[in-house]
Amino acid sequence: MMRRHFPDKPPAPHSPAEHGYTARDDGFVCLHGLPLQLPPKERAVLHLLLSCWPDVVPKEVFANRVWRAQAMSDESLARCVAQLRPTLSAHGGLGISAVYRTGYRLTLAPASAPAAAIPPLSRLHHEAMAQPRQVATLLHARQLTHQRTGAGLLRAQALLRELITQAPDYLAAKLALAECMTSAVSCGLTVQSDNLRESLAQLRLIEVQAPDLPGLHAEMAHLLDCQWRFSEARDMHALAAASAAPDDQTLHYLGWHQLCTGQAREAAESLRLALDLNPFSVTLGVLRARCLSACGELQAGLAQAEQTSHMAPDNLAAQIYLLAYQAFLAPRPELLAQAEHITLGPGTWAFADSTLAYIFARCGASEQARKLVAKAANEGVSMRANHIAVLLCLGELDQAMALALAAARQGCGQLPLILHTPENAGLRQHPDFARLHALMGAH
């Protein structure tokens, strides 16, 4: 009987050197004898990983040997690793894996692996893994979420809860519900802390079933941020950034976390990367402008607000925010005239009333500003917290602090972001600011 011959598989490589990688004594990394052209930080990180292979390199070792005298955050290390991955993927042979709460290590691919690795599935791929009607429902709910209106977010929550009931194994729907919940928090809508804890528990179950689900760790990180659990969130953001090439949503959440924790400059950079991936997002453009103003780059912030307005000329949020930014820099009558022609309805941007009230207050139309503040009197404290800057403009420091303290007692998710923007800096002059800070730290 003739036996069919199957060629032996090539042996698995035993070291990065068998893929052609070497770490030179002068700090350069070579592939097949030729130095790789990498930015200094990325080159140093890869050199360290190669030198320590096969061991895990702890984060503190990166801090001491790569960043040295400079401060290193988990996010900056994760971003450096994420920027290295496409280079390694293009050449083939090596990867970088994250070791949760510890550091990173190099991983080896088989010697026969193709040079160009297949990219990981994106969120969109996983969203498409269901019946057509279910996919359509999910996409519609996410569109409603991204509109950032009260009515849209409530409708999206209802659609997603119904969808999860009908298709309990559709993991992308559970992820989208978590996104909707955190969007409601960041917009100032009242969300019970029990609901946030329930969403986080659901995501932890998903992590057991599908730990590599795109977007999972980013949504978990943002849920933790909305509960002011910033230390846990920082680790989860690092894991999200290291698990794959970050998408715009992952970078958006990272920027939000960085601004809430006083890292405005880093937040602006994260959001710049997010806008590179999704240049049509008004939410990203507005948030980046806020970050730039928070780190003192006022003209760059204005340029970002103008760019966002130009990109979306029919978007009310983009237009109102540009007027508010201009009023922040230099209040003048023509801004007030433009603001007075804006008509608000029930389906408008969640921040429209408070932003318009701020324009009125900055431009001297105090009565019009007070009317919009009074209009929000029956809203929840999280929504009313968006009027803190208006009250400061009106000279009502005590009332602004009372509102901030009420928001802190409720655990208002977006309050840390509010406190890190320059239009709310006046709160620091109040004698109860230390009490506010302590109250927030107690959560």
Cβ contacts of residue 15 below 8 Å, gap of 6+?
Answer: 53, 108
Q: What is the pLDDT of residue 130?
A: 81
Residue of 81, 1, 77, 94 whose CA lies nearest to 38: 81
Write the DSSP assignment of 330-343 as a string of letters: ---HHHHHHHHT--
Bridge partners, residue 94, by sequence: 108
Q: Which one-letter DSSP state was computed for residue 115?
A: S
Q: What angle do CA 15, 20, 24 make, to 5 degrees?
A: 90
Q: What is the pLDDT of residue 4?
A: 41
Residue of 207, 250, 257, 264 whose CA lies nearest to 229: 257
Q: What is the pLDDT of residue 50?
A: 92
Write the DSSP assignment of 12-48 as a string of letters: PPSSGGGGTEEE-TTS-EEETTEE----HHHHHHHHH
Looking at residue 203, its amino acid is L
The span from the CA of 351 to the CA of 216, in Å, is 27
The span from the CA of 409 to the CA of 84, in Å, is 43
Q: What is the pLDDT of residue 212?
A: 78
Q: What is the mean pLDDT of each run of 10 residues along the chain (443 residues)?
A: 41 70 86 72 91 91 89 86 81 82 82 44 74 92 89 93 92 91 81 79 85 88 93 89 78 95 94 93 96 97 97 94 98 96 84 96 97 92 94 97 95 92 95 92 62
The span from the CA of 261 to the CA of 421, in Å, is 11
Q: What is the pLDDT of residue 364?
A: 96
C-alpha distances out from residue 23 to 165, 181, 196, 390, Å: 54, 47, 46, 57
The span from the CA of 239 to the CA of 432, in Å, is 37
78 and 242 in contact (C-beta within 8 Å)?
yes
Residue position matching structure tokens 């100032």: 188
Q: What is the pLDDT of residue 194?
A: 78
Q: Any idea of the CA torsion for 45, 48, 53, 58, to the nearest 10 degrees? A: -80
Complete edge-to-edge strand list for the sheet that includes strand 34-35: 21-23, 29-31, 34-35
Task: Identify the structural domains of the chain with CATH numbers, from first to last.
Answer: 19-108 (1.10.10.10)
The span from the CA of 105 to the CA of 55, in Å, is 6
